[in-house]
Amino acid sequence: MTCLSFIFGLCLVAGVIGAPSGTHVAPIRSRGVTIGPGDVPNGSHVNSRKPITAPNKTNVTTKGPSDAPNGTHVTSEGPTVAPMGAPVAATGPSPVSNAPSPSPKEKQVRAFFVFGDSLVDNGNNNFLYTSARADTLPYGIDSPAHQPTGRFSNGLNIPDVISEYIGSEPLLPYLSPQLNDQKLLVGANFASAGIGILNDTGYQFMNVLRMPLQIEYFKEYQQRLSGVVGDKRAKQLVNQALLFISLGGNDFVNNYYLFPFSDRASQIKLHQYVPYLISEYRKILVQLYDLGARRVIVMGPGPLGCAPAERALHGINGECAPQLQNASILFESQLAQMTQDLNVKYGSNVFIGANAPRMHRDMISDPQSFGFVSSSTACCGQGPFNGIGLCTELSFLCNNRDEYVFWDAFHPSERASRLIVKKIMDGANEYMKPMNLSTIMYIDSYM
């Protein structure tokens, strides 16, 4: 096993993480750094899976109502902007409202579905035998319960913040036993840390939910939902839902660039690999469309080369690592083209490209203007830029997580995630193509 961390997926270093206690696993040499078993705490205890600390429905965020984003007005005059933790209004009687003419959407908060990798996993891997997990402190240190949740964040992650904006309670991981009956109406999160577009990405993490399985589970979800609300309503709920998918980072970090001379990199050049990834990503999006998805925010890798891990290992003088930067920029432009081509094919703006490298760029180049003290050093880690190895209880941990763009060697802090979601909501065309989420919510409120 190796890496651990993937943010945008990635990994970096290797080490034995997650090997069951007592099992000897030879350290894997990855990208020039080797961490031996003794260096890493036993990350995943197969038999000690504690139940996921799903955020408490009634205590969803530590922030008071005044911190709630104001972006939710679009679909909802009034009562639908469910305060955090309000029960989903889906099945109850219509809220009594003073609004003159309630829109049909007021009856139900839009369902939300999430697919992809560690940037958006909210705990599925806690239920799996894998080394790709975030179930020990300091992960989750700033979550509502101050406990690890499986999110690769100090607190909330990007989908959680989107849930706040759409007025919904946070999603449950699909594997959570708590996901049943009325909870199904909220949606589900199918994402799994360590996975990529390709089936062989993240093989070292063993039992993770690769895309074919996430899609299988989405089908299974729909059958379960039909059992609760009937076929017609289930289909409608999916058609009207918002989807979010994050893929691609691990296909570079935990595949193409995993070893200095990986099989992939020796077989295929970057300028051929990227179009291959895009064509496979396209097939995944088509499957989601065929399963009823009609609004899908599509995100690729962030600025891979600027992650603290990459600066530490491949940056020259601490700059962003050029090879990985090139990879993510190349990927982003082809991803944007592919999603727009699909929209033409379907004659509708089903797929919305979220430009992840662009969203990070300002924060990374001028962290101070966003109130960060650093965009190059991770809050939690060790070595140069706190970018080597895993974030564990033994790591250096910054005092104020809000002052760091990167929480660990690859993943953004909650505060950085909030700024990213702000761009998803309100960003101009260079961030969100062909339109931002505020606009989508406005249009869809008249559907």
- Residues recognised as catalytic: 118, 408, 411
Closest CA to 107 of 126, 93, 127: 93
CB closer to ligand NAG out of 1 and 198: 198
List all residues 6 or more positions away from 276 whose beta carbon is below 8 Å from its beta carbon.
268
> Which backbone phi and psi does 434 adopt, to 5 degrees?
-85, 0
428 binds ligand NAG (CB under 6 A): yes
- 55 versus 187: smaller Cβ distance to ligand NAG: 55
**439 makes contact with ligand NAG (CB under 6 A):** yes
Applying CB under 6 A, does 70 fall inside the site for ligand NAG? yes
Q: Is-contact 236 184, C-beta < 8 A?
A: no
**53 touches ligand NAG by CB under 6 A:** yes
Tell me the CA distances in angstroms from 20 to 47, 89, 93, 326, one per residue in order.
Answer: 9, 43, 50, 37
| Nearest-approach distance from CB 62 to ligand NAG, in angstroms | 7
Nearer to ligand NAG, 28 or 330 (CB): 330
The residue written with tokens 């990070």 in the block is 360
List, as one string, the DSSP characters of 87-122.
PPTTSSPPPP---SS--GGGGSPPPEEEEESTTT--
DSSP state of 18: S
- Options 9, 144, 315, 381; binder of ligand NAG; rule CB under 6 A: 144
Burial readout 197-226 (b: 16 or more C-beta within 10 A, e: otherwise): bbeebbbbbeebbbbeebbebbeebbeebb
- Cross-strand pairs, 351: 296
Task: Answer left, alpha or beta for residue 36, where phi above 0 means left and psi between -120 and 50 means alpha.
Answer: beta
- The answer to whether residue 426 forms part of the interface with ligand NAG (CB under 6 A) is yes
Residue 280 in the binding site for ligand NAG (CB under 6 A) = yes
Contacts of 355 (CB under 8 A, 6+ apart): 332, 336, 430, 431, 432, 433
Task: Using the minimum distance from each CB to ligand NAG, give the nearer residue, 72 or 234.
Answer: 72
The encoded tokens of residue 102 equal 């309630």
For ligand NAG, which is the closer residue by CB, 337 or 429? 429
CA separation for the pair 119, 133 (Å, rounded): 12
> Could you say which of 91, 272, 337, 429 contacts ligand NAG (CB under 6 A)?
429
- Site mask, ligand NAG, residues 171-200, x = CB under 6 A? ---------------------------xx-
Asked if residue 42 binds ligand NAG (CB under 6 A), the reply is: yes
- Applying CB under 6 A, what is the total number of residues that bind ligand NAG? 26
Q: Please, which residue, 99 or 145, has the CB nearer to ligand NAG?
A: 145
- Out of 78, 92, 212, 371, name the contact with ligand NAG by CB under 6 A: 212
Residue from 32, 230, 322, 371 that binds ligand NAG (CB under 6 A)?
A: 322
Nearest to 413 by CA among 232, 205, 152: 152
User: Site for ligand NAG (CB under 6 A): which residue of 59, 91, 94, 272?
Assistant: 59
Nearer to ligand NAG, 55 or 383 (CB): 55
Q: Where does this chain touch ligand NAG (CB under 6 A) — which range of 232-240, 346-354, 374-382, 427-435? A: 427-435
State yes or no: residue 99 binds ligand NAG (CB under 6 A): no
Query: Which residues contact ligand NAG by CB under 6 A?
Result: 21-22, 42, 45, 53, 56, 58-59, 69-70, 144-145, 198-199, 212, 280, 322-323, 326, 426, 428-429, 435-436, 438-439
